[in-house]
Structure 1
């Protein structure tokens, strides 16, 4: 119960204003757009419950409901700010200041957002991210941005999936990141575009392997400062019924990254990310879903800086590798697959559950082969945060090899 109350405090308030405005339109509309994808909405969500309904029922003793008029999300920005406390394997306890701005440009069907989740952690990490997803007039162009400042002590365990957890090597660094991508619709559900990507690590230092042996980090090339800067070419097909919490459909994304010395890169290198997902109702007549995910992150040529190599939970969505701490596996090639079964526990949709299984294989340094497959598995609960967008609070407990285990908490589905 205490955990549930804490989660409500952390996650519910920033979405409350959006919830009230979105809910009123759901009763009347048969179709709506969520995050750019056309979905079929329920005619009436009154039979469904979310955490906002629970909180409202506590303070609304008479049992009356909020006004369900014709108010819809408009062009006026909605601001939300919330201090909170959180926990992850990587940060341990963290004090956070979360905030978001949500708005719709006049004439657009899609909502633009700017959000941040600034934190100071028990591990003395400073985390300042700013994410943006902005649609221009007429929804013609989509600007996706990712800015980060991290003062980030984080252990590395060597290269490849043959690495041992006993070789934990504390590394400290500061990261400045700038990503900006521009996408436009080509035809149907196909989008394409280009972007610029910049990662700068500085004040990098390592403590070394506990047994005094030379670490993979040192063997790879110990540098106190590195930069990766280049262009990206991107393609996307999104046929999911709801990108926040898909129940059916298909998704495929490809990103080619080309880092150039003349743009400031420490060394030239290229990489390719292929992200494919498929969702089925199972059984077909139920609300339960079985989902499959393949995420492959490959260095094609060159030698990226150590901290820019593919690594667990350093994918764009920070979702890979439940069962392992962030950065537990790292290497020039990453092949990853996951499946998850999602099911309702209560008929009103307030509470659900999941069971998941993943597997990953990494190579070592560039030019080496993939190593042994490492599994991860676990189960979790889903608490409905917003019944309109179908956003859940995800609370998972995962296990991996060599005694790895921990709690993983996030908003929305992992994939």
Structure 2
């Protein structure tokens, strides 16, 4: 396989198949009881599904424990918690196999009828590629959504795969350095660096669902280098051409935001819209290496496909980052997996395609497999495009990917899913992607 040891992948695949089989077996046995009152008709074309009717991984573990103990006694049911404390186990081709601890949660700071769920996550993890990450992130909505505050901090030692700029388009050039940077053969380099990041944004509600805000970001990158012995690398070529320090630089500045949000849940939306437009302004007076301006767009739309199976959904995602003026540092160029949670571009490693400007779109069909929502599936397809320094413009060259996956309901109180995806792209790119919550 392209992404490392085939035996490791075979072991992981077998492990998850056995685990999934055990959990689904107990979910199915419990379903006979749970489904009795799963759907309650409230009106001619509407239904209500309560948390008691849903089945998540904690319920499965309880059933397994009772089965092992042969315990048939009735237990007092506790109210489901909005906080999940769990091993931070993850895998994708960019980071390798990840181990650590993670806490994710959600709560309402007002009435559910008029207040969006506030979410938070904190984690400490280590991966087989030598990445160490600690972070705290939050997305907070005050009562009646009058204010939205989101942001976080991160400290990480990163190891990032690098395939140069552009879309792998072979453009003749007489400049060897530009050939290295454009990298049409998609040779793989590995960059290592340490990052200290902080960002915080404050939004004020203007009308129901619409917000305007501003924020600040600080990103310090240190000890940047390419692992291995090379005469030249995309990192060094780009840094020389753009007058950036190849071993350390800062990217600090201000940002202005416009947001529109009507989706019903940030972890796994069944309906609604999420849109966010951000102007990021790196400022030398705030310590940035160079001044630059980047316009970012994020749009997500969810169409419910069933009135009695709410997790039967068609979803669309667009993410873009467009260079307005100036130049970003090499490690900050927009591209595959460069969104907040590194989820866009399943089918390729993070940073496989990148440029000064980048555009991405994805459509995903989500369908239930069990009525209690414990197990569901997805199929998805995506397209991405970027410019390069040799004349390829944005929207000129596209690269596709597609895949399918399973969803296990991890926490029914917050709609947190354990996501297991397999995706395939071009250039031999393919891989298994594990994570919590939907990609978008």
Q: TM-score, normalised by structure 1?
A: 0.81
What is residue 273 of structure 2 aligned with on the other side? 250
What is residue 77 of structure 2 aligned with on the other side? 67
Question: Alpha-carbon deviation of 1:217?
Answer: 2.2
CA distance in 2, matches of 1:388, 1:267: 45
**Change in CA separation of 1:84 and 1:5 when aligned onto 2, cut-off 3 Å:** farther
Contact 2:203-2:213 at 8 Å conserved across structures: yes
Of 131-140 and 292-301, the range deviating more from structure 2: 131-140
- What is the 5 A alignment of 1:54-133? 54-60=60-66, 61-62=71-72, 64=74, 66-67=76-77, 81-100=85-104, 112-133=118-139
Of 119-128 and 159-168, the range deviating more from structure 2: 159-168
Q: Tell me if 1:194 matches 2:214.
A: yes
CA distance in 2, matches of 1:401, 1:319: 18
CA distance in 1, matches of 2:279, 2:200: 14
Q: Deviations over 1:206-238 (max 9, x none)?
A: 24797x5x4332221152111111111111111
Question: Alpha-carbon deviation of 1:349?
Answer: 1.8
Of 272-281 and 90-99, the range deviating more from structure 2: 90-99
What is residue 35 of structure 2 aligned with on the other side? none
Contact 1:332-1:366 at 8 Å conserved across structures: no
Of 81-90 and 313-322, the range deviating more from structure 2: 81-90
CA distance in 2, matches of 1:264, 1:296: 26
- What is the 5 A alignment of 1:14-413? 42-60=48-66, 61-62=71-72, 64=74, 66-67=76-77, 81-100=85-104, 112-135=118-141, 140-162=146-168, 163-164=183-184, 166-207=186-227, 214-222=232-240, 223-282=246-305, 287=310, 288-365=312-389, 369-370=393-394, 371-413=396-438
**Change in CA separation of 1:65 and 1:5 when aligned onto 2, cut-off 3 Å:** farther
CA distance in 1, matches of 2:227, 2:153: 28
SS in 1 for 2:235: helix
Contact 2:165-2:353 at 8 Å conserved across structures: yes
CA distance in 1, matches of 2:86, 2:47: 29
CA distance in 1, matches of 2:400, 2:437: 23
Q: CA RMSD in A?
A: 3.2
**Change in CA separation of 1:312 and 1:43 when aligned onto 2, cut-off 3 Å:** closer
Contact 2:166-2:353 at 8 Å conserved across structures: yes
Q: TM-score, normalised by structure 2?
A: 0.77
SS in 2 for 1:244: coil
Q: Deviations over 1:315-372 (max 9, x none)?
A: 1232110000111111111111111111112222211111110000011249861252
SS in 2 for 1:123: coil
- Structure 2: tracts of 5 or more residues without a match: 1-13, 22-37, 169-182, 241-245
**Change in CA separation of 1:136 and 1:382 when aligned onto 2, cut-off 3 Å:** closer
Question: Alpha-carbon deviation of 1:85?
Answer: 4.1
Q: Deviations over 1:52-74 (max 9, x none)?
A: 22122223432635436xx687x
Contact 1:160-1:331 at 8 Å conserved across structures: yes
Contact 2:226-2:233 at 8 Å conserved across structures: no
CA distance in 1, matches of 2:192, 2:137: 24
Higher Rg: 2
CA distance in 1, matches of 2:372, 2:109: 34
Instruction: Name whichever structure is richer in helix by fraction.
Output: 2
**Change in CA separation of 1:179 and 1:5 when aligned onto 2, cut-off 3 Å:** farther
- Structure 1: tracts of 5 or more residues without a match: 9-25, 31-39
Query: How many positions carry a matched residue from both structures?
Result: 380
